[in-house]
Structure 1
């Protein structure tokens, strides 16, 4: 299931084929009397234990692995689902002291969370902390009336539905199972269950997709009337089946992607959606319909990630869980931490990340101390080229700058 749910999880979740066993180290082992070892703290005292208000939970199971996917996924509905949830709950208890008494967001990503065996999913949802926004990713073919009711019963109030396209020939290219009618049925099942905050994912730049195809997909999505839309350019990640089959084709059509991007922005803004982030749109007039969880990452907030391959950033440290399912579950069965890497983040690194992620948003970035990592001459030059807007106190990308994104940001950073 394609997701750019947020920068850090997306970066950490990728596991090149054949390299899953690399760098297994870190937190394995138990402390005195079988207790968990305490995580080394960066010397700022116990106040960090109530800082984290954003929780990500990774559910890796999928019916099949899409050719373009490079996230940590496990194919098949089997006996692993229940034990994996057991491991997640052990990890939650292990890290609970890092969580604030009241969370702002919980996000269940994958994989396909709604492919998880329903009893195991219900047990997990029932054990997770309450939050103002609780999002679950879903593939349309996994959504039933019973599943929608289960999600509502356990406090989920936002569903992100992986549509990708409404056209069978494009869905086939993407190895997607759901058909257009399945998407519509899933959407209305969620509506009937009481969900009033539904997000749809679309992809553009699919091999064989024409501008008319993209227009059709956008029109079909708008007709459903979701509160939120995410529209991503298809990427052929190294090591995926898709990169071998279509990588060259995607490179050749790179010059046409700006026109597709403009079509997405023009069509959705004309339909009453606010383009609040490079790839994300919410219904105009209600900023609460933005993805609050993803906003936390774009704004540089701390977050805790649970599950195989998940990443956490807390008080200047970032750690990643092992991407190997067996190693993850074995560690937690032994009540050991499943992290394989712990990375201290310098103030400079955090500022650079804040600029890189903050510039994805439509609201200008207040420079302040961030000016230390911004090349002032480059900022003026890019403003002259029409790629950024700045008054030297704030900074934002223009529409074209947001399309070029990473290239513009790289030029800005010292």
Structure 2
């Protein structure tokens, strides 16, 4: 949940959506995202909308939870007859800091307001240091189906550069605890390309992930976000800026190791053992589905209307307590906007983008990209007379942004 909010149009105080946005509601996948804005410490690379205890008033967690209840009630009112959520994702911040009881309460509130599909995927992010076997057991009993753990690296010096406070072996042990508690779907997050990380460091991290027996891995190149402590250290010359060629080498190392172990890419930064292990909530984002984002700074999208909440937990809670929507602003996507986002997001997926959604000149550009080894030639050709799909090769994944620009 990035800390900077975009500009937009004024959002109505009651949160009402135009009839055009509500048309077809329920025929599209629907998800609920809940943003937990609390962290024990601030990681040096992170620019998400999060706050430590020293930055908030003592009652912030309880007022935040009350605001979550109110915003879910608002969602049910605005949506009319809301579709039962196919997916729920509790992210942050550090949701596990709340403990199992508030996370259980949040899921119960979702069931009672917008509703929850019987086979819904329900994920929470967790910091390994704030979890335990009892924590996972309580979440599994409450109805959570998926756990995502922040690991980042197994190398102590890399964790130190990132300002991560967990011990190197704790994430993999937490993953095993989650599996023993009955979670079939467990993800570990990695960050590669941190200054000072060597290929051997990354190999040890990948080996640890694979030994943990998880069915999903997310691996992200380190991005230096302006305004973060990491950006200031690099600006002072204390650390070198991540090198693009090194990041490409690290990505290939990740892809090779995970693929060889049976975890295959399904999105540029995500690998899974089988389609059942894919993060369905994120698939909704990538396919332009509907979702309601609950919490300070959370973004939402319903039927081509996108809005985002005010950032600060106190302001978010105050607006809802006063009977007002916490939306800071919103925008209505044009047909051109939606096409651009479809190309940008679906191209990142293993199933790719249908060629026939591209204009003729972009289709010709896709063929040139295939000739250059950026798109899979067989997928582009199609089968049995059907239109093909634009599917990135490994080299294309490294240059995904450039391929998007060529096709739009």
User: What is the TM-score with the length of structure 2 in the denominator?
Assistant: 0.88
Unpaired segments of 5 or more residues in structure 1? 1-12, 29-36
Aligned to 2:12: 27
Q: How far off is 1:381 after superposition? A: 2.5
Aligned to 1:245: 233
1:382 aligns with 2:359: no
Aligned to 1:88: 68
1:149 aligns with 2:131: no
How far apart, in 1, do the equivalents of 2:74 and 2:7 lie?
A: 24
Aligned to 1:8: none
Aligned to 2:384: none
Change in Cα spacing, 1:352 to 1:192, as seen in structure 2 (3 Å) is: same
Q: How far off is 1:145 after superposition? A: 2.2
- What secondary structure is seen at the aligned counterpart in 1 of 2:129? helix
Aligned to 1:410: 405
Equivalent pairs counted in the alignment come to 387
Aligned to 1:394: 389
Q: How far off is 1:323 after superposition? A: 1.1
How far apart, in 2, do the equivalents of 1:408 and 1:170 lie?
A: 31
Aligned to 1:302: 290
- What secondary structure is seen at the aligned counterpart in 2 of 1:48? coil
Q: How far off is 1:45 after superposition? A: 6.1
Q: How far off is 1:59 after superposition? A: 0.7
How far apart, in 2, do the equivalents of 1:262 and 1:291 lie?
A: 22
1:60 aligns with 2:47: no
How far apart, in 1, do the equivalents of 2:89 and 2:322 lie?
A: 26
Provide the aligned C-alpha RMSD in A. Answer: 2.3
How far apart, in 2, do the equivalents of 1:63 and 1:24 lie?
A: 34
Asked whether the equivalents of residues 97 and 130 of structure 2 are also in contact (C-alpha less than 8 Å), the reply is: yes
1:192 aligns with 2:180: yes
Change in Cα spacing, 1:314 to 1:269, as seen in structure 2 (3 Å) is: same
Q: How far off is 1:48 after superposition? A: 2.9
Question: Among residues 254, 257, 262, which one is paired with 2:252 in the alignment?
Answer: 262
Change in Cα spacing, 1:269 to 1:51, as seen in structure 2 (3 Å) is: closer
How far apart, in 2, do the equivalents of 1:347 and 1:73 lie?
A: 33
How far apart, in 2, do the equivalents of 1:264 and 1:157 lie?
A: 26
1:352 aligns with 2:347: no
Question: Among residues 87, 94, 98, which one is paired with 1:116 in the alignment?
Answer: 98
- What secondary structure is seen at the aligned counterpart in 2 of 1:61? coil
Q: How far off is 1:100 after superposition? A: 4.2
Change in Cα spacing, 1:196 to 1:169, as seen in structure 2 (3 Å) is: same
- What secondary structure is seen at the aligned counterpart in 2 of 1:388? coil
Aligned to 2:147: 159
Residue correspondence of structure 1 range 361-380 to structure 2 within 5 A: 361-368=349-356, 370-372=357-359, 375-380=362-367
Q: Deviations over 1:90-129 (max 9, x none)?
A: 0001112537443211000000111125443332222123
Residue correspondence of structure 1 range 328-347 to structure 2 within 5 A: 328-347=316-335
Q: Deviations over 1:32-84 (max 9, x none)?
A: xxxxx361414466653775521111111110111111111011294211110
How far apart, in 2, do the equivalents of 1:51 and 1:360 lie?
A: 20
90-99 vs 166-175, which moves further: 90-99
How far apart, in 2, do the equivalents of 1:171 and 1:213 lie?
A: 11
User: What is the TM-score with the length of structure 1 in the denominator?
Assistant: 0.87
How far apart, in 2, do the equivalents of 1:222 and 1:257 lie?
A: 21
Q: Deviations over 1:333-376 (max 9, x none)?
A: 112100011101011111110110001111132133x2139723
Aligned to 1:274: 264
Unpaired segments of 5 or more residues in structure 2? 382-386
How far apart, in 2, do the equivalents of 1:198 and 1:45 lie?
A: 34
1:15 aligns with 2:3: yes
Aligned to 1:6: none
